[in-house]
Structure 1
Amino acid sequence: MLKGNQVLIVTPFDNNYEVDESSLVNLVDHLVEQDVAGIIVLGTTGEFFSLQDHEKKRIIDITSERTKDRTALIVGVAHSGSSISADMARYAGEKGASAVLLPPPYYHVPTPEGMIDHFTIVGQRGNVDLMVYDGGGGIEVPIHVIEKVRAATSKLRYIKLTAPKVTKVREYHETFGSEVSVFAGEDLLIMPELLEGADGLTTAAGNLRPKELTEIFNLVQNEKFSEAQMIHDAHIAPQAIVTGSIRNEFIQCFKTSLKMMGIIKTDTVRPPLHRLSESRIQNLSLMLQNQKLI
């Protein structure tokens, strides 16, 4: 079973908007060297919405090779088409992914029945463990949906929780026991969700603070709550406030920070995302300097 600090990584692009494979390798290697429990590619942070299928498969190829026998790999397979998600899930499983991250279908708001069908189809056809994204795209997944899917496929083993209901961690555990692991998925709710019993983290914050997040998780497991909160307040909260203050700019914030830290070469994002304003870049730079990351 997966647990611990799983980092949602960016997808680096070069100045021509092509996938920057060397920066991707450098980012993955950097995080593996920081002893993260796993890496998540092709999530929202990874700009899955602007990548073509052949690019997604190439990213899976590269990251599966770099993480092999070193750390876990989770692959985002978000799509509004269930069979399309299932095909990508099957490819990820064949390449050694430990699980796939699957939100509800986006664009249209799915009914509970639609969610059940979507998750079940991917679970049955993808042949790889599922991490359902509760709160992905702002859509909460009712617990009874998870119950129905679990009855249809044993592949649903994980939940990434970003719906703003921290007590839902406990509700999942009360319903499913150890059969389903719940991961804290919102940077600013890491501590309360861990205190509720989350089995790990799935956040973008680990791009910048992988060691600290792993330490926070380990301290909470050892019931050293005050020490964990001190690290969170000193290092995670400041960056989360800056990177998350404008919701549709958080991807750019992480890319710009990683560029300043010398881990990726450019801060390029694909349209419709846009480059940060100079004031936001200065804001990030000052935060990174104060945090001694640059």
Structure 2
Amino acid sequence: MEKFYGTGVAMVTPFDENGQVDYAGLRNLINYLIDGGVEYLVSLGTTGESVTLSKEEKKKIFAFTAEVNAGRAGLVAGIAGNNTYEVVQQVKEFDTRGYDAILSASPNYNKPTQEGIYQHYKAIAEASPLPIILYNVPSRTGSNVSAETTVRLAKDFKNIVGIKEASGNFDQLNQIMRDKPEDFLLISGDDPISLPMIALGGVGVISVVGNALPRQFSDMIRLCLKGDFKAAQPAHASMIEFTRMMFAEGSPAGVKTALKTLGICGNKVRLPLVQVSAKLAEKIALETKNLTSPVAVH
């Protein structure tokens, strides 16, 4: 599981002006991230606007991403939902070629009990031909995967190998680190707190900001993993305002604006998401240029 140490990027899905998937833009993004030194890619996580894509679009994007990546970086597929049966069917039917794991967010909206969350992931783990990374993001799902449930799943299913944790609850993170199996991976799901999470024992991040700043972010994460937090801190500090902008008017609208500034892909999003305001877009463009200029790159 060492391929999940470091920086994973929850890739955006580029759309053209007509709202269709922009495969040229997706190719640009994949190559940009790999050239930027990230350790692995996440295709069709929530940042990829997966809930707005049809089954056929998802299938084509998964295959295209594996083809372009061609084994150069680790590759994770986002497969999630709040209908357990449907998620299990998608996992069973998934073409695993080129993929190393499945990232699956806890069910949204239903607000299951901890036992319901456990049974949901149990069904997925028993069906999956690939390792599973849990994803806890209470701000979006409406329910929290407790430390006890995370540890229970980690101990009961060898193919549940880690969790992308975005609760921001350090008491919960402390409990996971104390009680988890030694080889179970704690991965930051929240860009701004990746540095302190690694100090706790986390192994890296699945990042949104990394879409636009792969070199800066992955370099910073590698310094943290070496225990050199003093060297990592200036890079961390330099990205604080940029990171705030990425989420100020919703994700991934912010990071798509940065990617448009960089000439990687366009900034179109699918409803119900909308593009950021003109005022914020101007600020993002300026900060993106500042952070990616030759002087800013170390």
- Normalised TM-score (structure 2): 0.91
Relative to structure 1, the CA distance from residue 226 to residue 283 in structure 2 (aligned partners, 3 Å threshold; closer, same or farther) is same
Identity level (%): 25
Q: SS at 2:9's partner residue?
A: strand
111-120 or 284-293, larger mean C-alpha shift: 284-293
Shift of 1:165: 1.5
Per-residue CA deviations over 1:40-86 (Å, capped at 9, x if unaligned) read 11112100110111111111101111223211111111211112222
150-159 or 206-215, larger mean C-alpha shift: 150-159
Q: Which residue is 2:120 aligned to? A: 118
Shift of 1:245: 2.4
Q: Which residue is 1:183 aligned to? A: 187
Shift of 1:29: 1.1
Q: Which residue is 1:263 aligned to? A: 264
Within 1, Cα distance between the matches of 2:168 and 2:183? 23
Q: State the one-letter code of the partner of 1:255.
A: K
Q: Which residue is 1:289 aligned to? A: 289
Q: Is 2:213–2:292's contact at 8 Å kept on the other side of the alignment?
A: no
Within 1, Cα distance between the matches of 2:91 and 2:100? 11
Q: SS at 1:7's partner residue?
A: strand
Q: Structure 2: state its 5+ residue gaps.
A: none
Q: How does 1:234-245 map to 2 (within 5 A)?
A: 234=238, 236-245=239-248
Q: Is 2:191–2:243's contact at 8 Å kept on the other side of the alignment?
A: yes
Q: How does 1:1-294 map to 2 (within 5 A)?
A: 1=1, 2-92=4-94, 94-136=96-138, 137-138=140-141, 139-234=143-238, 236-246=239-249, 249-264=250-265, 266-292=266-292
- Normalised TM-score (structure 1): 0.93
Q: SS at 1:177's partner residue?
A: coil
Within 2, Cα distance between the matches of 1:90 and 1:28? 26
126-135 or 85-94, larger mean C-alpha shift: 85-94
Within 1, Cα distance between the matches of 2:259 and 2:94? 26
Q: State the one-letter code of the partner of 2:63.
A: D
195-204 or 170-179, larger mean C-alpha shift: 170-179
Q: Structure 1: state its 5+ residue gaps.
A: none
Within 2, Cα distance between the matches of 1:41 and 1:113? 28
Q: SS at 2:259's partner residue?
A: helix
Shift of 1:143: 2.2
Within 1, Cα distance between the matches of 2:107 and 2:226? 37
Q: State the one-letter code of the partner of 1:4.
A: G
Shift of 1:293: 5.1
Root mean square deviation, CA, Å: 1.8
